[in-house]
Structure 1
Amino acid sequence: MERRNALKTLAGALGGLVALPGWATGWTAESVQLTKSFLPADQIETLAAVVDTIIPATDTPGAKELNVSQFIQKVVADCYDKAAQDALSNGLVLTNDLAQKAYGKPFGGGDATQRTDLLKQMEQSTEPAQATFIKLVKPLTIRGYLNSEYVMTNLTHYEFIPGHYHGCVPVKK
């Protein structure tokens, strides 16, 4: 009886391994696009400015160029509860309000130093809404950036199947 269970398990594992490449390569840009955003347009622009402030462009593209803000919207819309969605939306409004009070312009209109200072102030704040917003956005920004196609292929040199076997290589004497 144990041999039968072992054969069933082996057949299931083999079927999964055969189906895995077709499933993984079936993803397209259209299939992972955010179909309907729960954020208004002005908050989307603020979110793009926030992720650009957290990971700005240097000699490599920044988070804004790699569309990390779309990643955050997709993850929060699909995987987080209504409270987290509200925390993101309210945090973006709060970020714009704080920037308006401090610098007389919206968050995206400030220069890099002003935006960085404002985010640091929010991170060190004891107000729960500010702390919750930063604790939500900052890790998602880092995760989205590190999992982007550009970073995975050009910076970390990700291999889909690690430990590739190179059978025919020149041997030195």
Structure 2
Amino acid sequence: MNRRIAIRNMALILGSAAILPSCLTDKGKPVVQLKKLKVDADQEKVVNNLAETILPKTDTPGAAELGINLFVFKMIDDCYDKEHQADFIKGLCDFADAAKKQLGKSFNEATVAERTAFVNTVDINAKNEKYKDVTKLTAFYKMVKDQTVFGYTTSKYFMTKQIVYELVPGRYNAYFPVKKLAAV
């Protein structure tokens, strides 16, 4: 009886050892399955790091911890038209190229301080009227920033821990004075 258990356990261990390398090597495969956007793992990581740079972890969870990066991809894939999706992909490539040119390394390899400094320059250029039509980089940055903030303010954490969310009619207060109501 013990020999059968030992053979079964050995078969499980060998089977696991054969499958394990294929589970660990999904380097070029993105985490998010999108219908319209085609992004690779490096591009996904750029957006993840950008969202984390916009909303970093402090005493509250950051964008990466709340999964806001996945929200950004899903919203752009599902809710934006083809023109804006093309602008997103082109802007993503421009953003990665600009980061590599300015930082001397990819945005993913940069330190948090370097990322923050680079994003601040992009933010200043996005707000400046002169740079609005130069590249798709500003459109990409604005899309990611808008969706990151929107995803954070509509997240379960924000709605339950940061602000107390009540459904529309609110609470019934039977002791509310009528005189205060008439004054409003």
Normalised by the length of structure 2, the TM-score is: 0.66
Deviations 1:74-122 (A, max 9, x none): 1111110112112222222222212222222211221222112212222
Q: Which residue of 2 aligns with 1:36?
A: 34
AA aligned opposite 2:171: H
- CA distance in structure 1 between the aligned counterparts of 2:40 and 2:85, rounded to whole angstroms: 12
Q: Which residue of 2 aligns with 1:128?
A: 135
- Counterpart of 1:108 in 2: which secondary structure? coil
- CA distance in structure 1 between the aligned counterparts of 2:162 and 2:146, rounded to whole angstroms: 19
Structure 2: state its 5+ residue gaps: 1-31, 126-130, 175-184
AA aligned opposite 1:112: V
Check if 1:160 corresponds to 2:158: no
AA aligned opposite 1:51: A
Q: Say whether the 8 Å CA contact 1:123–1:130 is kept in structure 2.
A: no
Which segments of structure 1 move beyond 4 Å, counting only runs of 4 or more?
none
Q: Which residue of 2 aligns with 1:88?
A: 88
Q: Which residue of 2 aligns with 1:101?
A: 101
Specify whether residues 36 and 132 from structure 1 end up closer, same or farther in structure 2 by C-alpha distance, changes over 3 A only. closer
Query: Larger Cα Rg: Structure 1 or Structure 2?
Result: 2
- CA distance in structure 1 between the aligned counterparts of 2:173 and 2:110, rounded to whole angstroms: 52
Structure 1: state its 5+ residue gaps: 1-33, 168-173
Q: Which residue of 1 aligns with 2:154?
A: 147
- CA distance in structure 1 between the aligned counterparts of 2:97 and 2:33, rounded to whole angstroms: 28
AA aligned opposite 1:159: E
Q: Say whether the 8 Å CA contact 2:91–2:136 is kept in structure 1.
A: yes
Output aligned runs, 1:36-115, within 5 Å.
Answer: 36=34, 38=37, 39-115=39-115
- CA distance in structure 1 between the aligned counterparts of 2:68 and 2:90, rounded to whole angstroms: 19
Aligned length: 134
Q: Say whether the 8 Å CA contact 2:54–2:145 is kept in structure 1.
A: yes
Deviations 1:107-163 (A, max 9, x none): 122122211221222233312312211221111110011111111111112123552
Q: Say whether the 8 Å CA contact 1:96–1:106 is kept in structure 2.
A: yes
